[in-house]
Amino acid sequence: MERTLESKGKIRIYIADNGEEKQIFEYFRKNEKFSLVGTSENGENVVKDVILLKPDVLVMEIVLSGLDGFEVLEKLKFNMKNEMPKVVFVSKLSHSGFVTKALNEGASYFMVKPVSAENLEERIVDVLNSSGDNIIQTNNKVLDEKISNIFISIGIPAHIKGYQFLREAVKLAVEKPDIIGSITKKLYPTIAERFETSSSKVERGMRHAIEVAWNRGKIENINSLFGFKVYNSNDKPTNGELIALIADKMIMEG
């Protein structure tokens, strides 16, 4: 176990893991934007350390010695109240039930191992953006987090380009609902410009992301998200249908 309180001006991160992902530890030790304030593979130590050190982000595996990740999260919520760090689960347990439980219990994000350190950094930045934290200033913070959680639940992996295209599309559809009626003429070109690519690549990337999700067989997750049966295993939404469905949910939830 390592602990440090020297992290002024940096994003303070604590990693609760068994140490298998050694490149993750080394990456954040050397990253100048972050301060790795502590690490442990023992859940009881994680609770004590996080209460003491108050990191901005807790990156945590579910499988820990002593207390598991869910038990750690429950104890931290009870003891820290408004001082809770953002929690990102990074686990080898990939069953959708674990993802749903983690997000329902208050985690901000769930990633399935193996993950790259760069992707983890990007997700941490997303999570902090969505918190309204002064560390990083952006717009649409809460919306980003909600969309990301939906994508995780329905099986769209964060590392593929279509994930980013779809997330941007949902945000655009929330801001300008009528854009969904001009998906080819307005939505695709707008996203293509932001990502410095072509409209055709945006369209293909989105379609690929949806195909990946449907091939993972997580149909029931999307049906449960919307509270009624939207699709069955033989259905697959178009890009526009999925974007509109998620955007409508975001708008109704405020």
pLDDT band at 220 (very low <50, low <70, confident <90, very high): low
| β pairing state of 57-60 and 86-91 | parallel
What are the DSSP E strand ranges found in 41-85?
57-60
pLDDT digits (tens, 9 = 90+) for 145-195: 778 888 887 788 888 889 999 999 998 888 888 888 889 999 999 999 988
| β pairing state of 34-40 and 11-16 | parallel
Return the amino acid letter for 24: I
pLDDT digits (tens, 9 = 90+) for 198-219: 999 999 999 999 888 887 766 6
pLDDT band at 4 (very low <50, low <70, confident <90, very high): very low
Q: How far is CA 171 from CA 23, 52, 106, 155, 248, in A?
A: 33, 37, 22, 19, 11
pLDDT digits (tens, 9 = 90+) for 114-155: 888 888 998 888 888 765 444 433 345 567 777 888 888 778
pTM for the whole structure = 0.54
pLDDT digits (tens, 9 = 90+) for 23-42: 899 999 999 999 999 999 99
Domains and CATH numbers, the chain: 2-138 (3.40.50.2300), 152-252 (1.10.10.10)
With contact defined as beta carbons under 8 Å apart, do 98 and 90 qualify?
no
